[in-house]
Amino acid sequence: MTITSPRAAAEVFTYLARFSNAAEWDPGVVSGRPLGDQGPRLGSVYRLVVRFGGRELPLDYEVVELVPGSRVVLQADNGLVRSTDTITVSAVPDGGCSVDYRAVLEAKKARALLGPVLDWAFRRTCERARAGLRAKLAA
């Protein structure tokens, strides 16, 4: 998903790279908190508790790639899923910014049987997150 914001790119990047903030804009995130150093820097970890398929799952997202001010890649891996979130923030000429957010969720168990259901649930979750992020960054 790509969205625009009237806010400065540096402000938006700092906010989004501190991934525990996802609890403020993603309705699928029950809670978020940093583990250890608040970062964001390589190796920073953020614990999100996400609501998915009627369950609450803890996911520890680690910053695995960081280009300060423009790009952060976070990964979470547990017995059920692996999630990779890539956030790229770019300044735009009017003083605002563009945010490109890509989330890839890979189911580990029962993928062959539940694939279509998981895909549908993930798409729905992404649509809600997009709306929440757009609303949060519009102000």
| Residue pLDDT, tens place only, 24-37 | 988 888 999 999 87
Q: What's the rounded Cα separation, in Å, for the pair 57 and 65?
A: 24
Q: What's the rounded Cα separation, in Å, for the pair 44 and 31?
A: 17
Taking residue 45's Cβ as centre, other Cβ atoms within 10 Å add up to: 18
Mean pLDDT taken over the chain: 83
The total number of structural domains in the chain stands at 1
Of all residues in the chain, what percent carry a pLDDT higher than 70? 82
**The CATH number of the domain where 48 resides is what?**
3.30.530.20
Confidence of residue 81 (pLDDT cuts 50, 70, 90): confident
Look at the pTM and tell me if it is higher than 0.85: no
Residue 20 pLDDT exceeds 80: yes
Q: Mean per-residue pLDDT for 57-72? A: 94
Give the domain range for residue 110.
Answer: 2-138
Confidence of residue 120 (pLDDT cuts 50, 70, 90): very low
pLDDT, tens digit (0-9, with 9 covering 90-100), for 90-113: 999 988 999 999 988 777 665 544
